[in-house]
Structure 1
């Protein structure tokens, strides 16, 4: 729509429309129409999945009445539910387990939070808002459930699903503060470090640790990585300036400038490099303060199986190097490690 100006008499002419204005109008109308259709479909699906749960629950009650006690009621309910929703899942390419979990959510939403169904019906909130509500609902005691549902609904009506998720998480923790501390103690006992091997010689090293420590560690890594990135940028800028000066004066570059290589790493890459470098080269404070103080650090042991041709000629056709004969690693890493060992097992 073209801009308009007031006439000399103070009146404003009608706005001028062009093809882009019309396309924008059609987009807005179409998007809102499809959004409404999707909302109605989401609500209908919730109600249908809740019906599936009710059918499975009735099957379970009848089995119990008939004296079938070989498995628990919960296992029997789960079995019936997967069987019922699996019939529909075959037609929609959804797994029976996924649909069963969604049916449980639908049952809880329709029975424990009926006001949310009304809000879904009239479009006040979306299914994604409801998903945020349910994600933390099991952390709230039954006597505070109504308060939780009402407050999250009031918030969701004027906020995005992402903001609602954050609010619901905090509210659930606040309403169950005492239980949260107990849950934290239980979760703290399960702290661990795990590894997941990926393709292309990469792996994910994960640590389940207290949130405060995790955020403090991530913040430190980010600051260190950013500082390194800035230092590298400053070095590169100074190097370019010296190169220009040498070229202007017709002089040769110094050995340092001639060998200078710019560091292209991003902050994310530097963060990962600083993390593993710190992990492999630093000594934990708990070790410094333990009876092991002053003794050699524990050395990491990695068994590499690598064809000899990979070490001798990087350009020759070769087989892949592996860790313990299982997980592939790059030839570059294999040669680096081979260059530091004192002996080989053939």
Structure 2
């Protein structure tokens, strides 16, 4: 007896997919309405605690006692809601504080959520990074992030909010960085089974360089182990190295700290220099190399949406302008100077055209160019939009970064992409929708550099 597989009906499958897509968007709108209602509830928790506090604390009560009383009431009211919600009172207290900030500082964000112009993840990203922004810049921050959020994912909005907050609070950011830098430390928390957590509180640029170097060294060790396995596969007593990437990273960190002598110790504090070989890009506004305070003020005057006045680590993490100036003098790091208003790349410190082009593209794209992907460009692959074998050129207008997964998808899945130049790509989904992805800020022009930058 033979069985016949059912025939594949393209039209029927496409119809099912369209219905599912419509339902998905309807669910997004419904979820946004529920989230907006939840924020009103969380605000009620906060407001009720405030009302009870005002009832119990007269004008003569100290601010400390009043804050303590409010905390008691907030926990009590939150606990009432937590009983049957599978949420902790701490979680509801935090949401109540967030809702209070939302309605008192950025009420128009709640309207946008209720209309499904944004999702709860966008609201959370905005609220998480508003703390350092001075009150006089709340409107600039809130409206700027909202405009961005309406056309981007929550993770993208998270990065943008972080950058814009750092820009609007540049002086506060510098002072906060100095205070935080004084708290740098290494902590050991002993765990079970003879293990412990080693935690280092370091400047972001240093931590990123260490992380990247550990990954590179671990990948090199894995490649060596694989090659040795192939070479000795016929030896019966050969014991293959099966350590994972994380295990290699941990071992390399331990071996380096326990067997290497810091260069600062060998050569003295005044002569020590950072020994960094990892790929870490510090995108620095050119004015910040002269005077970080002037650069910050100049950038704020240039508009709220460029974020051009902030030094960025790998295009994602704001960093101290003073620290960027110090690292800019290190020849082992990529140094990319940007225009103080537009954020366009002015120059890069390399000579060879191929290396210069690669560095330019990393500065332009920052992350994978697939819609919503946040994989850093330096951990992604350069893709010819029009394949080389089909006549595509190795030129900025035909190149873009794609992470391994989306690079593969572009070639084997029914997605199409068109390079519109300047780093802007137009993706065509399997359902025929067009999604544009643009670099942030708008991509610079490629200029071949023959002279070193004026450091």
- Give the TM-score normalised by structure 2: 0.53
Name the residue aligned to 2:211: 218
Name the residue aligned to 2:32: 39
Question: Residue by residue, what CA displacement relative to the aligned partner does 1:39-98 show, whole Å, maximum 9, x if unpaired?
Answer: 211100101111222222222233333644495322222222221221111121322222
Q: Which is bigger in relative contact order (C-alpha 8 A, separation at least 6)?
A: 2
Aligned pairs, number: 263
Relative distance call for 1:70 and 1:262 in structure 2 (3 A) is: closer
Q: In 2, Cα distance between the equivalents of 1:21 and 1:42?
A: 31
Question: Residue by residue, what CA displacement relative to the aligned partner does 1:243-297 show, whole Å, maximum 9, x if unpaired?
Answer: 4xxxxxxxxxxxxx56533222233321111111111112223333469xxxxxx
Answer yes or no: is 1:147 the counterpart of 2:140: yes
Answer yes or no: is 1:286 the counterpart of 2:279: no
Q: Select the structure that is richer in strand.
A: 2
Larger radius of gyration: 1
Name the residue aligned to 2:252: 274
Relative distance call for 1:214 and 1:16 in structure 2 (3 A) is: closer
Answer yes or no: is 1:237 the counterpart of 2:237: no
Answer yes or no: is 1:97 the counterpart of 2:97: no
Name the residue aligned to 1:262: 240
Relative distance call for 1:16 and 1:183 in structure 2 (3 A) is: closer
What are the within-5 Å matches in structure 2 for residues 47-126 of structure 1?
47-65=40-58, 67-69=60-62, 71-126=64-119
Q: In 1, Cα distance between the equivalents of 2:189 and 2:15?
A: 52
The structural deviation recorded for 1:169 is 0.9
Where do 5+ consecutive residues of structure 1 fail to align?
A: 4-14, 244-256, 292-346
Relative distance call for 1:71 and 1:176 in structure 2 (3 A) is: closer
- Give the TM-score normalised by structure 1: 0.69
The structural deviation recorded for 1:211 is 1.0
Check whether the contact 1:78–1:100 (CA below 8 A) recurs between aligned residues: no
Q: In 2, Cα distance between the equivalents of 1:226 and 1:62?
A: 63
Check whether the contact 1:53–1:103 (CA below 8 A) recurs between aligned residues: yes
**Alignment RMSD (CA, Å):** 2.5
Q: In 1, Cα distance between the equivalents of 2:67 and 2:129?
A: 21
Check whether the contact 2:33–2:115 (CA below 8 A) recurs between aligned residues: no
Check whether the contact 2:78–2:93 (CA below 8 A) recurs between aligned residues: yes
Q: In 2, Cα distance between the equivalents of 1:169 and 1:25?
A: 36
